[in-house]
Amino acid sequence: SVNGLEFAVADLSLAEAGRHQIRLAEHEMPGLMALRREYGAAQPLRGARVAGSLHMTVQTAVLIETLVALGAEVRWVSCNIFSTQDEAAAAVVVGPQGTVDAPAGTPVFAWKGETLEEYWWCTMRLFDFGDGVGPNMLVDDGGDATLLVHKGVEFETAGAVPVSTEDDHAEYRVILATLAESIAQDGQRFTRIAAQLRGVTEETTAGVNRLYRFEQAGALLFPAINVNDSVTKSKFDNKYGIRHSLADGLNRATDVMLGGKLAVVCGYGDVGKGAAESLRGQGARVVVTEVDPICALQAVMDGMEVARLEDVVERADVVITTTGGIDIVTVAHLERMKHNAIVGNVGHFDTEIDMAGLAKVPGIERIEIKPQVHEWRFPDGHSVIVLAEGRLMNLANATGHPSFVMSNSFTNQTIAQIELFTRHGEYANKVYVLPKHLDEKVARLHLDALGARLTTLTKKQAEYLGIDVEGPYKPDHYRY
Ligand code: NAI
């Protein structure tokens, strides 16, 4: 703590470099800057204590400083051990007005390359705004902060944390240990926090899946807004964001020529569509794997070959998982790949490539090419190159999605925070999406910057279509 400001970042002296990048990002994030102009005077988030768990990047810095500009008190951690941009974390701590010696920004607990223990230590720091006061709002990406509150309340109610077993996922064992320590210190911490929370706004597919499961089980402890399924989020960030950051991650990690190579994309949802387009844009021949016949048919109609991984794995130069699922690339697949085939994941969790199984192959050797790039050499002499230890490589090997597309996502985030903080009484403990007129507003805020001129409906045209001149222009069931 310096100046009464708590933080844990890699190196505060990176703040100036981070601030330059934030300045450029602000220019590319017109939606967030418009919200600062629209709400700066009214301060709708005054009194909000926002705890955020979302990749600590340059773009997220602009989100954090927007929440602060709207009156919120904010604390932040990253939602992935490799995704922090240390210069952005430093700049947020120092703040636009502070100095390295007298930081005056926002508490951040995040650095690139945390251990799992450090990651959950950081996440615990989110929940202490001083004097035992917790947050009253959550911003989540993947649902780890939300999970910690729910598990905390569950175990506090039970009076104990279950004993972990060898079968538990390594990360779950760390969560159990973290909560055991918390309960030993204060057996009501998360029960009190949950009672104060007005709600969570969730960024990604993986996190909203968790939320809907809590809702279905009747276990959701506070209202939630599913930001991912705003059209201006999932149909933009997940797709066009990955179209940019997948190729960026592959290039920075390996610099291998993608043109002419055979690339397999597992999953053809929003992220898979962007990934396939990214690879095809580089001249790769793209094969898609899918379980959903609708998405598989979309892939074929888009000109991709659809096959099973086991039928193409020997020919693949690059395999990218985008499913959000588990056991997509198995050890049996990895064993059969060509020498120096590249394997990476952009789904939220590290469940898609069987890294634990790979490490157990007798005689296998792991050689670090550079941080977040590893060659795994099998006893027969052939190797596979695994990116980011199976974690999301577009954020670990590069810097994630670019500012402009994240402005769409984070404008939705900010609107959702204002909505839940100011009108929480109107929401039950369920999962909601933002109404369409707000989704359309987010898109509108980004058109000018691209020089697009929207056509205005005439009154006659609007009446003919049975809609309002001002929108919404589509019914809720429209799919875009
Ligand atoms: P989605 O649900 O639209 O797409 C996933 C697709 O994978 C579905 O079409 C599904 O049928 C398919 N799939 C499931 N199991 C499969 C299997 N065994 N083999 C082949 N295909 C399979 O979800 P979305 O939005 O595309 O997100 C995917 C993941 O990426 C999630 O974990 C999400 O949180 C994450 N994400 C990551 C981002 C990043 O920057 N790296 C950005 C946005 C989302």
One-letter amino acid of 5: L
Known binding positions for substrate:
57, 141, 203, 233, 237
Is residue 407 one of the residues assigned to a domain? no
Report CA(35)–ligand 1 centroid distance (Å). 30
Query: Is 376 in the same domain as 314?
Result: yes
Residue 8, classed as helix, strand or coil, is strand
Range of the domain at 75: 12-141+143-202
Rounded Cα distance between 162 and 176, Å, is 7
Asked if residue 270 has its Cβ within 6 Å of ligand 1, the reply is yes
Query: Is 16 in the same domain as 162?
Result: yes
- Closest by CA to 433, choosing from 215, 275, 123, is 215
Report CA(452)–ligand 1 centroid distance (Å). 30
Phi, psi of 349 (to 5 degrees): -105, 165
Ligand 1 atom closest to residue 325's alpha carbon, by position in its atom list: 15
Instruction: Give, using CA atoms, the residue closest to atom 12 of ligand 1.
Output: 267
Query: Is 16 in the same domain as 157?
Result: yes
Report CA(345)–ligand 1 centroid distance (Å). 10
Tokens describing residue 57: 């990047």
Pocket test of ligand 1: the residue of 238, 250, 265, 397 to mutate, having most ligand atoms within 8 Å of its CB, is: 238
Last residue in a domain, options 202, 219, 249: 202
Report CA(87)–ligand 1 centroid distance (Å). 29
Asked if residue 325 has its Cβ within 6 Å of ligand 1, the reply is yes
Tokens describing residue 223: 């209202």
Sort 443 into a burial class: Cβ within 10 Å, 0-12 / 13-18 / 19+: middle
Asked if residue 348 has its Cβ within 6 Å of ligand 1, the reply is yes
Q: Provide CB contacts within 8 A for 7, sequence distance 6+.
A: 1, 93, 103, 107, 108, 109
C-beta atoms surrounding 468 within 10 Å:
12
Query: Is 167 in the same domain as 33?
Result: yes
Rounded Cα distance between 146 and 151, Å, is 9
Rounded Cα distance between 198 and 84, Å, is 27
Asked if residue 394 has its Cβ within 6 Å of ligand 1, the reply is yes
Asked if residue 269 has its Cβ within 6 Å of ligand 1, the reply is yes
Is residue 221 one of the residues assigned to a domain? no
Q: Say which residue the tokens 């960024």 belong to.
A: 203
Tokens describing residue 437: 């007129």
Here the CATH number for the domain that contains residue 36 is 3.40.50.1480
> CB of 115 within 8 A of CB of 169?
no
Asked if residue 238 has its Cβ within 6 Å of ligand 1, the reply is yes
Query: Is 111 in the same domain as 244?
Result: no
Report CA(306)–ligand 1 centroid distance (Å). 16
pTM (2 decimals)? Answer: 0.98
Q: Provide ipTM, 2 decimals.
A: 0.99
- Closest by CA to 117, choosing from 46, 74, 175, 32, is 175
Tell me, what's the pLDDT at 206?
97
pLDDT per residue as tens, the chain (480 positions): 888 899 999 999 999 999 999 999 999 999 999 999 999 999 999 999 999 999 999 999 999 999 999 999 999 999 999 999 999 999 999 999 999 999 999 999 999 999 999 999 999 999 999 988 999 999 999 999 999 999 999 999 999 999 988 888 889 999 999 999 999 999 999 999 999 999 999 999 999 999 999 999 999 999 999 999 999 999 999 999 999 999 999 999 999 999 999 999 999 999 999 999 999 999 999 999 999 999 999 999 999 999 999 999 999 999 999 999 999 999 999 999 999 999 999 999 999 999 999 999 999 999 999 999 999 999 999 999 999 999 999 999 999 999 999 999 999 999 999 999 999 999 999 999 999 999 999 999 999 999 999 999 999 999 999 999 999 999 999 999
Asked if residue 289 has its Cβ within 6 Å of ligand 1, the reply is yes
Last residue in a domain, options 396, 429, 452: 396
Sheet holding 199-202, edge to edge: 108-109, 73-77, 49-53, 137-140, 199-202, 224-226, 431-432
Per-residue DSSP letter, 197: -
Rounded Cα distance between 149 and 155, Å, is 10
Report CA(271)–ligand 1 centroid distance (Å). 6
Instruction: Give, using CA atoms, the residue closest to atom 2 of ligand 1.
Output: 269
Rounded Cα distance between 399 and 402, Å, is 8
Is residue 406 one of the residues assigned to a domain? no
Asked if residue 290 has its Cβ within 6 Å of ligand 1, the reply is yes
Is residue 303 one of the residues assigned to a domain? yes
Residues composing the chain: 480
Residue 374, classed as helix, strand or coil, is strand
Per-residue DSSP letter, 457: P
Query: Is 321 in the same domain as 251?
Result: yes
Report CA(160)–ligand 1 centroid distance (Å). 35
- Closest by CA to 153, choosing from 195, 119, 124, 122, is 195
Is residue 451 one of the residues assigned to a domain? no
Instruction: Please report how the helices 58-69 and 86-94 are oriented relative to each other, as an axis angle in degrees rounded to 10.
Output: 20
Asked if residue 328 has its Cβ within 6 Å of ligand 1, the reply is yes
How does strand 137-140 pair with strand 199-202? parallel
Query: Is 78 in the same domain as 159?
Result: yes
Pocket test of ligand 1: the residue of 85, 141, 202, 205 to mutate, having most ligand atoms within 8 Å of its CB, is: 205
Query: Is 190 in the same domain as 246?
Result: no
Number of folded domains in the chain?
A: 2
Rg over CA atoms, the chain: 23
Report CA(107)–ligand 1 centroid distance (Å). 32
Query: Is 44 in the same domain as 110?
Result: yes
Tell me, what's the pLDDT at 166?
82
Ligand 1 atom closest to residue 392's alpha carbon, by position in its atom list: 41
Is residue 228 one of the residues assigned to a domain? no
Per-residue DSSP letter, 426: G
C-beta atoms surrounding 428 within 10 Å:
9
What distance lies between CA 215 and its chain's CA centroid?
21
Report CA(321)–ligand 1 centroid distance (Å). 8
Q: Say which residue the tokens 């700049």 belong to.
A: 91
Here the CATH number for the domain that contains residue 327 is 3.40.50.720
Last residue in a domain, options 368, 396, 424: 396
Asked if residue 324 has its Cβ within 6 Å of ligand 1, the reply is yes
Query: Is 155 in the same domain as 272?
Result: no
Asked if residue 206 has its Cβ within 6 Å of ligand 1, the reply is yes
Tell me, what's the pLDDT at 95?
98
Asked if residue 320 has its Cβ within 6 Å of ligand 1, the reply is no
Q: C-alpha distances in angstroms, 233 versus 1, 123, 191, 418, 437?
A: 36, 25, 32, 17, 14
Rounded Cα distance between 186 and 475, Å, is 49
Phi, psi of 374 (to 5 degrees): -130, 135
> CB of 68 within 8 A of CB of 74?
yes
Ligand 1 atom closest to residue 295's alpha carbon, by position in its atom list: 9
Query: Is 164 in the same domain as 267?
Result: no
One-letter amino acid of 384: V
Asked if residue 129 has its Cβ within 6 Å of ligand 1, the reply is no
Please give the torsion angle defined by the CA atoms of residues 219, 224, 230 and 236, in that order, rounded to the nearest 10 degrees: -90
One-letter amino acid of 372: Q
Asked if residue 272 has its Cβ within 6 Å of ligand 1, the reply is yes
Asked if residue 266 has its Cβ within 6 Å of ligand 1, the reply is yes
Instruction: Please report how the helices 170-185 and 144-158 are oriented relative to each other, as an axis angle in degrees rounded to 10.
Output: 50
List the beta strands (DSSP E) in 141-295: 199-202, 224-226, 262-266, 285-289
Is residue 82 one of the residues assigned to a domain? yes
- Closest by CA to 207, choosing from 150, 266, 144, is 144
Tell me, what's the pLDDT at 144?
98
Report CA(329)–ligand 1 centroid distance (Å). 14
Query: Is 244 in the same domain as 148?
Result: no
Is residue 388 one of the residues assigned to a domain? yes
